[in-house]
Amino acid sequence: MKKLDRFRTSSNRGLSDFTAFDYVLMFFGLPVELDKGKIHRAPEVTWILLIFSVLISLMAFKYEFLRNLISFKQSDFILKKLFNCVTVFFVHADIWHLLSNMYFLYVFGDNVENELGRKKYLALIFCATAVGTLSYGYFFSNSGRVLVGASGGIMGVMTFYLLRFPSSRFAMLFLFYPFIVPGWAFMVLFFFKDIFGLVLQANHMTHVSHM
């Protein structure tokens, strides 16, 4: 198996190549990947994680007992917390939380799975999920909030991707105008977004688990 090449110049896209769907994604604050790397194997693990996350999250929206079973709460007993620090990957707070996380997994996951292989890729995701969850539990031990979401695991995937491919390009929307940033700049912007969110703590997002 050949080692993953950097990125093909033939797959590069520019502002003139944007579709209406690209603008919709950027309008909702989602980055558009412009440089698609070579994939030597089907991203089967990524697709399985996507399917299971969607199905389990949709079921948890309807059945509260399932949500309580696999979400993380600091007040739970230790064995349940150890189990739930990974299972939180498969349950989300609402439909937007689910869709945005699955989008990031779709964009970044295939290249990382291709680079690491299936076993190391799974290890990265679930270790990052556990570290993110337990970090939140440690820093906000008295919050009483229930932690859900794949954000910690996906942040681990994104970090690997952006460190491995720092020159990859992403498009974002600012004041309704698209601009292109390299991967390393996107990582910096994302980090400061979480710092800002951590200071405000304005919503359900657990920004510590991202970091």
pTM to 2 decimal places: 0.80
Relative to beta strand 146-147, strand 72-73 is: antiparallel
Backbone angles phi, psi at 181, to 5 degrees: -130, 145
Q: For the ranges 12-26, 33-47, 87-101, which has the lowest average pLDDT?
A: 12-26
What is the band of 42 on the pLDDT scale with cuts at 50, 70, 90?
confident
Can you give the pLDDT at residue 147?
A: 83
- Please indicate whether residue 104 or residue 76 has the higher confidence score (pLDDT): 104
Can you give the pLDDT at residue 207?
A: 44
- The H or E element containing residue 176 is none
pLDDT digits (tens, 9 = 90+) for 162-197: 899 888 899 888 887 888 888 888 888 877 776 655
Residue 157 clears pLDDT 80, i.e. is over it? yes
Can you give the pLDDT at residue 127?
A: 94
Burial class for 121, CB neighbours closer than 10 Å (0-12, 13-18, 19+): buried
43-54 as b/e, with b when 16 or more CB fall inside 10 Å?
Answer: bebbeebbeebe
Residue 211 clears pLDDT 50, i.e. is over it? no
Mean pLDDT of the chain: 81
Whether the CB-CB separation of 46 and 143 falls below 8 Å is answered with no
Residue 128 clears pLDDT 80, i.e. is over it? yes
Residue 93 clears pLDDT 80, i.e. is over it? yes
